[in-house]
Amino acid sequence: MKTMTVKIALRAVASAAILSAVMLVHPATAEPVIYVAAGSANKVLAIDPKTNTVIREFGGIENPHALTITPDGEYVIAGSLKESLREKGDTRPPESTIYIIHPIHGHVMSTIPVEGMIHHQAITPDGRYVISTHPTRGGISYADITGEHGARNVKTGPGPNYTVVRKDGSKAYVSNSGNGTISELDLRTWIVARNIEGGPSPEHLALSGDGKTLYALSARAGKISAVDIDGGKVDKVWDIGKGAHGLDLSEDGRALFATNRKLELLIAIDLVTGERREMKLSPQPYHLEVLPGINRIYVSSRQDPKIWVIDPGTWKVVGEIAISGEGHQMVLGN
């Protein structure tokens, strides 16, 4: 593990004053807002789910692919897919950047450098540590957004792609696409407790509500694997075709949703009955998020600057959101 310097943009006294002011002005019953990492647009977008329109943009963020949010909605945190170039003779690993955004104030409050490009992010339930996957570095970093400890690294396996965290904050699971495993990370010690089966080249993950099953999607194999966490084994597999990408669970945990860029499909699998539904989405359905409380599925297009809005009950597209760049990770805030 290596502690890295945190580049804090505001002094502690100023930060405390701002946080106090925010507590006074932040509405107790704020309307939901969807935040989207917009990649090549170098922005994070804020979307009103009632009107399906972009209502705010946060710029100056280099190629954000990863996105998460603190549980209280106070900070939106983006991770850059871009690595900085080192000068000739500098043997230190390349760095990318975590951006801590304060939506109310409308700007990046601070940045944290980390080793290697950031692919996806998650956050601990206490809102303190941001976990980023670094596929070119063979592990994750966990960054303390309070600035007290900076960012530290943990090796997990080749090609780490995605992370999910248990609701109780005890463990996180990291998919290692290079060797077909999922690392179980003990969040009390930040040590990999064990590696379990993840199916072929696992990438995007979803964790069941009861914390007993991990669902791992493989783009290369075109499969979703259900992993029994206690046993550490794959106990069921669904074939959804090569070119699969996005994955999430319905709010009630009854259905799996996945996208397939190559076949241009949104796929639903009922985990109780086994029924399968498909919807044509063109071009190239990409990232997929089921955001709690809205009863909608949001699917971005890899080719066109837009996000489809799908009603899971009627299984129909009920809206499209015009964006800049392309939609990567999406989160819900206030």
On whether residue 39 sits in a domain, the answer given is: no
pLDDT for 292: 86
On whether residue 68 sits in a domain, the answer given is: no
**Can you give the CATH number for the domain in which 306 is found?**
2.40.10
On whether residue 272 sits in a domain, the answer given is: yes
Of the chain, the end-to-end C-alpha distance in Å amounts to 35
What are the pLDDT digits (tens) for 140-169?
Answer: 999 999 988 889 999 999 999 999 999 999
Q: State the pTM of this model.
A: 0.90
Q: CB neighbours of 286 closer than 8 A, spacing ≥ 6?
A: 245, 246, 259, 261, 299, 300, 301, 302, 326, 327
User: Higher pLDDT residue, 10 or 330?
Assistant: 330
On whether residue 274 sits in a domain, the answer given is: yes
Residues 85-90 have a mean pLDDT of 82
- State the Cα angle at 44 between 334 and 84, rounded to 5°: 140
17 in helix, strand or coil? helix
Q: Residue 235: what residue type?
A: D
Beta bridge partners of 4: 151
On whether residue 165 sits in a domain, the answer given is: no
Nearest C-alpha neighbor of 104 from the set 12, 226, 22: 22
pLDDT at 13 > cutoff 60: no
How far apart CA 75 and CA 165 sit, in angstroms, is 18
Give the tokens for residue 8. 């804090």
On whether residue 269 sits in a domain, the answer given is: yes
Nearest C-alpha neighbor of 272 from the set 315, 208, 199, 205: 208
On whether residue 205 sits in a domain, the answer given is: no
What are the pLDDT digits (tens) for 219-264?
Answer: 999 999 999 999 999 999 999 999 999 999 999 999 999 999 999 9
Q: What DSSP letter does each residue of 148-210 carry, written as one string?
A: SS-EEEEE--SSEEEEEE-TTSSEEEEEETTTTEEEEEETTTTEEEEEEE--SS--SEEE-TT
Residues 48, 262, 131, 269, CA torsion sign: positive
Q: Could you tell me how far CA 111 lies from the centroid of its own chain?
A: 18
Question: Phi then psi for 66, rounded to 5 degrees?
Answer: -100, 150
On whether residue 136 sits in a domain, the answer given is: no
Which of 138-152, 168-182, 300-314 is the least confident region? 138-152
Domain extent at residue 249: 244-311
pLDDT for 215: 98
Beta bridge partners of 296: none
16 in helix, strand or coil? helix
Q: How many domains does the chain have?
A: 1
